[in-house]
Chains A and B, each alone.
Chain A
Amino acid sequence: MTQLKSGERQLAMILSGLVLLAGFLLAAAGHGDPMGVHGWIVVLFAAVILVVAMRALDDPEPTEDRTMSYYDDPTKVGIVIALLWAVVGMGMGVWVAAQLAWPDLRFDAAWSSFGRIRPVHTSGVIFGFGGNALIATSFHVMQRTSRARLAGQVSPWFVLLGFNLFCIVAASGYIMGVTQSKEYAEPEWYADIWLVIVWVVYFILYMRTLARRNEPHIYVANWYYMSFILVVAILHIVNNLAVPASWGGAKSYSLFSGVQDAMTQWWYGHNAVAFFLTTGFLGMLYYFLPKRAERPIYSYRLSILSFWGIVFFYIWVGSHHLHYTALPQWVQTLGMTFSVMLLIPSWASAGNALMTLNGAWGKVRDDATLRFMMVAAVFYGLSTFEGSFMAVRAVNSLSHYTDWTVGHVHAGAMGWVALITFGSIYALTPVLWRKKTMYSWKLVEWHFWLALSGTVIYVFAMWNSGITQGLMWRTYTESGTLAYSFTDTLVAMHPYYIARAAGGALFLAGAVLALYNVVMTIRRVPDHAPHLDYPTNSEAAEPAVPAGE
């Protein structure tokens, strides 16, 4: 707040006031429906921000020239929120995993069944942890690579807090049973509309910041972040087209049905993997890995080629989720073909990352942060290979509907997405808060080994369980009848489900360490430099943006 001028504080007040009003409307319209509860959640959320803005309204104007420095406050808050979501989301994950091993851990409440809290886990880690990390790091990267301050003081907060409001509404909705049943797009219509507003502001902010840049070329990490913002917007809008049953309730019905809906959903679903969980995090990789290794990316040209390859190929592959279903054969074949071709740009990216480290292996050995990123690139390569393999129709006939898919997703989500994020956070934290170092490198080392062993245990358990189950389903006796009942396969899964919960628990423990370590870094580690960015050259004394801003 201290960095905001009085006009900006008023704007913040007005915006939170508007959200507050929208919350009241939602609460009034949805009286007696879960939507009403959501209205009150929105009211509460906006009221807190409104109070903060009002209390700061009469504070003195900021004295320093803001154009001289990067605007890092939203990034800082975003990083801490991301870690909080990581603990919540992964905690939910361990709980749902444990429910499959010991169903009584559900404790008999309506809200705590697997079906209701599973989306809390998936949305918590994908949107809460991943989304906040993406927004926070994108603010950091866009400023650094453009050598320009964020184009706005209020809009970054609007994006960050608005996105978290969406996450809270989503998670609390699942517990109350508010869901569209579209995987990874579960929130209902009003949350979807809100996300569109937030996303448009995010896109404008990004474009305006890029427009201020002092480099002739837009660094490739920004391309990846841009594709994440843009394509997620397209996917989100199309897949969530729905007609509400009434304006006074949460329930809505998808515009699409049957086979069209299936194709649209998995076009969305797989591209959420592509543009939320891959390109955004590749943006992170292309910035933080070279930075941490102190070497430029191995081949910049290759990074451009693989960018367009990924953007173009990924969008086709969703139909590999629908092999042997009622989806027309030709669409299945297209999806399979592009899934295999996708391996080329994916491995180009992973290889590019690893070649960057060639010659810096000593650093990788000594520095757990860089090792996080290195292992993330390896897992990225492995899980994209596995993905292409599983998209082949014959393999898919075995793997689909089994835990193999779950294992594959987690190899990507834990091994690639979470590790690159943790690596980036460890690289970023001392820089952001201008600290000499992390609070404890030993804890980072612990986190690394906990995360790695957790991922490996999880993935191996799911491979075993998935392949076992797939084979059991298709085994025939000599007389030509099915050898195993469905229940038989469940019994066979039990030990793997226990191992999976254990692997997840290790990973969760690592995330808790990360949160503790970052908080202690902020609170305990002495400052490295004064709280001020200094301009590079003497010309910088002349602000390019008029003082009216």
Chain B
Amino acid sequence: MWRKLLSPFARLFEFQAKTHYRAERHSMALTIGIIAAASVGGIVEIAPLFTIDDTVEAAPDMRVYTPLEQAGRDIYIREGCYACHSQMIRSLQDEVDRYGPYSLAVESQYDHPMLWGSKRTGPDLARVGEKYSDDWQVRHLVDPRDLVPESVMPQYAFLLETQLETASLPDRLAALRTVGVPYTDEQIENAASDALGQSRPETDRADGVAERYGDATNIRTFDGRTDLLTEMDALVAYLQILGGLTDVAAETQPARGE
């Protein structure tokens, strides 16, 4: 049996030995030529960006996403929200007037991956945080056309019924730390508990969140349900922090006087 199974490999070696290849210079030259021609552009454009920290504006107040917000971000990715919503306000007057100060590089420095987007079937969301109430966001996600009759956005009512999976959050935060987000050991250990705590104000867990992520953290029952920590909680927590990780954009770009 073994002999029969191994025989094709034996043939493979024989084949290598027996076959006489012409010195194949042409296709090798072609391969090297293509790689040489095609790699330069990428190297020249991308490599300097990894030294960009020298030049971008510093944001000492920049904070990381809480576990609940990060879980919401993962849901945002899972549902493909980025296909219709950008998170990048360009430095054009009408965009600044419509959406707020233009986006700075530092604001997405903890975004693995970035969600700048490429298409605005719906409006930009880079600064949507705190623009609407939690209640508005929940109702809008449950049925967009209830609040905006012209909307073409899909309904996401099921988020309000689905329990948020928090067990994997420590792993996820740890992976994010591996790629460069400065989560502390304590933050990683308590990730699952903090996710629940952020939507349960006035509890011990909530105090832990404030202690680890700062007093400015939004600690609210985002979806209005106290019986269950839902995916809606996470997504709304994420939406409400968009544009709110640092104030550097608002500070460096004073609003245009009317």
Q: Give the interface of A toward B (CB within 8 A).
A: 7-8, 10-11, 14, 99-101, 103, 106, 108, 110, 113-116, 118-119, 174, 177-183, 207, 210-211, 217-218, 223, 226-227, 230-231, 234, 238, 242-246, 249, 251-265, 267, 275, 308, 311-316, 318-319, 321-328, 331, 334-335, 338, 397, 400-402, 405-406, 473-474, 476, 480-482, 486-487, 490-491, 497, 545-546, 548-549
Contact = CB atoms under 8 A, between A and B. Distances in A.
Interface string B82-123: 111010101110110110001111111111111111111111
B90 A243 contact: no
Contact of B154 (A103, A313, A334): A103
14 contacts: A100-B152, A181-B115, A227-B38, A253-B113, A258-B106, A258-B114, A260-B46, A260-B49, A321-B118, A323-B90, A325-B88, A397-B90, A401-B117, A548-B11
Contacts of A400: 90
Contact of B30 (A116, A218, A234, A334): A218
Contact of A265 (B42, B98, B114, B154): B114
A405 B179 contact: no
Interface residues of B, number: 98
A118 to B, nearest CB: 5
B216 interface: no
A255 B111 CA distance: 10
Nearest to B109: A258
Contacts, number: 278
Contacts of B105: 258-259, 326-327
A155 to B, nearest CB: 11
Shortest Cβ-Cβ A-B pairs, 5 listed: A115-B80, A315-B41, A324-B90, A177-B78, A316-B41
Given A113-B79, A326-B88, A263 B8 contact: no
Nearest to B174: A245
A106 B83 CA distance: 16
B108 A258 contact: yes
B77 A262 contact: no
A19 to B, nearest CB: 16
Nearest to B156: A113
B153 interface: yes
B16 to A, nearest CB: 11
Interface stretch (B21-29, B131-139, B202-210, B219-227): B21-29
Contacts of B122: 486
Contacts of B15: 546, 548-549
B228 interface: no
Given A116-B79, A549-B15, A312 B38 contact: yes
A257 B171 contact: no
Given A114-B80, A315-B42, A322-B116, 15 more contacts: A8-B8, A113-B79, A230-B31, A230-B34, A245-B172, A252-B175, A316-B41, A319-B45, A321-B118, A324-B102, A331-B45, A405-B118, A482-B97, A548-B18, A549-B19
Contact of A548 (B14, B27, B38, B111): B14
Interface stretch (B143-151, B192-200, B234-242): B143-151
B77 A181 contact: yes
Contacts of B148: 487
Interface of B: 4-5, 7-9, 11, 14-15, 18-19, 21-22, 24, 26-27, 30-31, 33-35, 37-42, 44-46, 49-50, 52, 55-56, 74, 77-84, 86, 88, 90-92, 94-95, 97-98, 102-124, 144-145, 148, 150-158, 168, 171-172, 174-176, 178-181, 258
A245 B46 contact: no
B150 A490 contact: yes
B80 A246 contact: no
B80 A118 contact: yes
Contacts of A253: 112-113, 172, 175-176, 179
A217 B88 CA distance: 49
B168 A249 contact: yes
Contacts of A397: 90, 92
B119 A405 contact: yes
A190 B116 CA distance: 25
A497 B81 CA distance: 19
A400 B89 CA distance: 12
Given A245-B175, A316-B45, A114 B109 contact: no
Nearest to A10: B8
Given A14-B8, A338-B41, A545-B19, A246 B168 contact: yes
Nearest to B74: A251
A473 B38 contact: no
A113 B84 CA distance: 12
Contacts of B49: 259-260, 263, 328, 331
Given A210-B27, A257-B179, A7 B7 contact: yes
A548 B49 CA distance: 53
A254 B178 CA distance: 10
B118 A183 contact: yes
A315 B38 contact: yes
Contacts of A322: 116
Contacts of B104: 326
Contacts of A267: 42, 45-46
Contacts of A238: 42
Contacts of A314: 38, 41
Contact of A546 (B19, B97, B114): B19
Contacts of B86: 401
A473 B92 CA distance: 11
